[in-house]
Amino acid sequence: MPEYLYLLTLLLPLATILLIFGFKYGSAAYQARARSANDTAYRELAQSVATAQSQTASSLAAMQAEAIREKRARIIKAEAELEASVKLSLAAAQITANPAALELRRMQMIAEVGAENNSTTVLMIPSDFVSLAHTLNDYLARQGSAKKEA
């Protein structure tokens, strides 16, 4: 039995030393693997953040370009409206100076609409226009009779 005790006293410290070094090496290997996994995860996270930043920057640039285009369109529209209002006020002044021009323009518009739509148009003629036509007819009749007498 003393042989077993002798072997046991030799093998027990050797086994303990082997276990301690084994655990130490195992824990170092585990820590290295964990560190490597963390580094990989960090790299993937950093790459996804960089991709998201570039996408955000490009979408912001597109939004800015669209805002600039909309601004230009609004400015052009405002200038066109200003020009139209100036022309309308000039037209109103012209028509105020000659009321018959308004009636002639109205008749021109009706003729254009009738020609475009190829339809029959019923319209009301103001009594002033009818009396003007009678007066013009009477004037022309007097002119015709004056030329015959002369």
Map out the domains of the chain as residue ranges: 99-150
The DSSP letter of residue 131 is: H
pTM: 0.42
**Sequence-ordered list of residues with C-beta below 8 angstroms from that of 66, at least 6 positions apart, any chain:** none
Q: What is the pLDDT tens value at each position of the chain, 150 positions in all?
A: 577 777 778 888 888 888 888 888 888 888 888 888 888 888 888 888 888 888 888 888 999 999 999 999 999 999 999 999 999 998 888 888 887 777 788 778 877 877 777 777 776 777 777 788 888 888 888 888 877 776
Handedness of CA 111, 117, 123, 126 (dihedral sign): negative
